[in-house]
Amino acid sequence: MKLQDKVAVVTGASKGIGAGIAKAFAGAGAKVVVNYAKDKMRAAKVVDDIIKLGGDAIAVQADISIKDDVERLFQETLNSFHRIDILVNNAGIYDVTMLENITVDNLHANINTNLIGAILCVQRAAHFMGENGGSVINISSTVSINPMPGTLVYAATKAALDNVTKVLAKELGSKKIRVNTISPGITETEGSHEKGFMGGEWEAQLLAQIPLGRIAQPEDIAKAAVFLASDDAGWVTGERLQVAGGQI
């Protein structure tokens, strides 16, 4: 129970990696806020799964690209659990768009959620973390350093998020707040299936890049998140941990 009695906010936790992290945190003893933007039913299912296993969780709707929503997310966390110890910035927009098809709306949507939203969440979380500090985990991607065609905007936002981690680790260290990045490779989620990444030639090409020989599951990423959120990583900050089975 490495996170016993801690309170964690996980953004974009209604499915995929976020849901996996939320469940793993609860299994490690944390009280969890399952944030979602639109999918209330999936968020409720994550909360229900946690409660059935003896954990404690609530779902809170908030679009993290909207400042008022972010403030409400953290206020509802305090109203329910009275403290904040851990933030996982997982919410994000991912699409494959070639240069000629990128629009201003596409640019703003990615930047507003993947970058601005993450910064707004750290700002509020840091304000409420107590004298013992806390842990912030930003979910980046292997494409932040090894981008593929069609990931221009997404890769740019994730590279920026990597640098947000480095800057905030230095800014917030005096408050005992650790800030780290997890960079997953291709992971089997509802989203990767919906976008057609699973099955066929695309999956075969990605699999060929992974020395450990399989596609990641959300639980693989969640284990790393539990480590970074726990006291086991008490001397770890400003780091980028790639969790990708050796994928380059």
Catalytic residue, candidates 124, 154, 161, 177? 154
**Mean pLDDT in residue range 131-157:** 95
CB atoms within 10 A of CB 87: 30
Which residue matches tokens 């707040």? 177
The per-residue pLDDT for range 83-120, each reduced to its tens digit, is 999 999 999 998 889 999 999 999 999 999 999 999 99
**Mean pLDDT in residue range 175-193:** 88
pTM: 0.94
Residue 195 reports pLDDT greater than 80: no
Confidence bin at 19 (pLDDT 50/70/90): very high
Higher pLDDT, 207 or 228: 228
For residues 194 and 231, give the distance between their C-alpha atoms in angstroms, rounded to a whole number: 36
Higher pLDDT, 199 or 70: 70
- Tokens (6 digits) for 134: 């806390």
154 is catalytic: yes
For residues 64 and 81, give the distance between their C-alpha atoms in angstroms, rounded to a whole number: 20
For residues 129 and 132, give the distance between their C-alpha atoms in angstroms, rounded to a whole number: 8
